[in-house]
Amino acid sequence: MNDNQPPVIKSLHDLIVAWVRHVEHVPRMHRHTLGARITESLLDAQMHVFRAQPLGNRLEKIEAAQASITLAKYTLRVLVDIKALPVKKMAHLASLLVPIEKQLSGWKKQVVKDASLSA
């Protein structure tokens, strides 16, 4: 990983790898619907984070990444509720999700602060 990249990129990578390793254990009936939705949401979040790095409208891209992470989180909760994902596995994934949410929130605050200082 590049040292100039925000830590959220590594955190997202770790979460995506953990999810991809587990998705094959999700029952087939849900793997191709809810499982695919989670994978897509995590990859979307990663794409938004990458796009937020260069100069431009960072705030919009960070908020889009936050929305994708929130969608993944709530879809994971659905899998737990229907007993397609063990609570223990959800706890592990949540331990990877929480730092990402915090990092994105901190990054967003910094972007907003920088925008207010330059305005």
| Tokens linked to 97 | 């999700």
The pLDDT tens digits for 30-58 are 999 999 999 999 999 999 999 988 767 89
- In a domain, residue 16? The reply is yes
Q: How many domains does the chain have?
A: 1
Structural domain range at position 51: 7-118
pLDDT over 80 at 4, yes or no: no
pTM (two decimals): 0.90
- In a domain, residue 19? The reply is yes
- CA distances to 12, 19, 92, 100, 116 from 41, rounded to whole Å, are 11, 11, 18, 14, 30
- In a domain, residue 1? The reply is no
Average pLDDT over residues 62-91: 96
The CATH number of residue 64's host domain is 1.20.1440.60
- In a domain, residue 2? The reply is no
